[in-house]
Amino acid sequence: MKKVLFATTALVLTAGVAAADVAVSGDGRMGVLYDGADWNFSSRVRVAFSLSGQTDGGLDFGGSIRADNSAGGAAGTAGEVWISGAFGKIEMGNVVSAPEALFGDLPGVGYTGNDMDINSNVTVNADIPYLTLDNSTQSAMLYTYNAGAFSVAASMTDDTGQDATYGVAAAYTFGNYTVGLGYEDDGTATQAELAGVATFGNTSVKAYYADASDRTLDTGLEVDSAYGIGVSSVFGATTVKGYVQKIDFSAGSAIDSLTWYGIGADYDLGGGATIAGGIADNDFDGFDPVADLGIKFKF
């Protein structure tokens, strides 16, 4: 991503004065989206600010915020601020959970991500269904630490307006493989996760299994477990991606399970422009596939 330095200032932190950098970047997209019934135009442009600096003692610090989220940034529910050193990295703001920080999600397909809403309550896409801090706007804290092949993370929220949540995770990398374990508690339910990533040349495979306890979705469905696998492979300027995921619901639920899947491809035009398209579907009765095609930009 190209970044344009537009300001240098002096910040005072503890006993020292340190130089801080402020950089501007952005992203945009333009294309068409099929929502299962009609084709529609789809476009957007966003501007982001990244800030960084270092104290006289060698501690790095910074923050980031998108311009469209400025109000949330002032309230601590959007963007993030951080400080890091030999002790690890501490982030506050709209951060992800500890398991998501270490494991991430499956490879997204398409130019918009191919989100699908089931009964207007359950959104399915390439995101792993983490229990806490998953696409939320609750202010939280995330701690991460790396020591060679080992990585650990911990996350939590306070109880301002919502129940406090907690998450911990650990991962180990050996050769071309990474395995990890995570655990989350949102105050009403718990979930444990096992994740693994393997790289074979230009192909990456990621898989996960999540075991839930007392987790109830907005639809009233009680989750028993979820699992999925995603693959991304690079062929020159072309990247082909796909995923499949499944949720099994507890006995007595209105449906036994829900499976969804997607496949797509990106073509790098160079200079920060990429042509991307994909199609996604699920086995929910009466739901039609969604698809998109367009150009994504990074500035």
Angle (nearest 5°) at CA 241 between 281 and 174: 125
Position 3 pLDDT exceeds 50 = no
pLDDT at 257: 92
Cα 205 to the center of its chain, rounded Å: 17
Please answer whether residues 210 and 226 qualify as being in contact, where contact means their C-beta atoms are separated by less than 8 angstroms. yes
With 0-12 / 13-18 / 19 or more C-beta atoms within 10 angstroms meaning exposed / middle / buried, residue 153 is: buried
Position 20 pLDDT exceeds 70 = yes
Lowest mean pLDDT among 1-10, 81-90, 172-181: 1-10
Residue 256: enclosing H or E segment and its boundaries? none
Average pLDDT over residues 269-287: 92
Q: CA nearest 29: which of 47, 42, 14?
A: 42
pLDDT at 288: 86
Q: What is the DSSP letter of 160?
A: S
Domain count along the chain: 1
pTM of the model: 0.88
DSSP character string of 120-157: TTEEESSS---SSSSS----EEEEEEEETTEEEEEEEE
Distance (Å, whole) CA 135 – CA 141: 15
Distance (Å, whole) CA 244 – CA 263: 9
pLDDT one-digit tens code per residue, 153-193: 999 998 766 778 999 999 999 999 999 999 999 989 999 99
pLDDT at 161: 64
**Domain residue limits at 144:** 4-298
- The CATH number given to whatever domain includes residue 121 is 2.40.160.10
Encode burial over 164-184: b for 16+ CB neighbours within 10 A, e otherwise: ebbbbbbbeeeeeebebbbbb
pLDDT one-digit tens code per residue, 118-154: 665 567 889 999 999 887 667 899 999 999 999 999 9
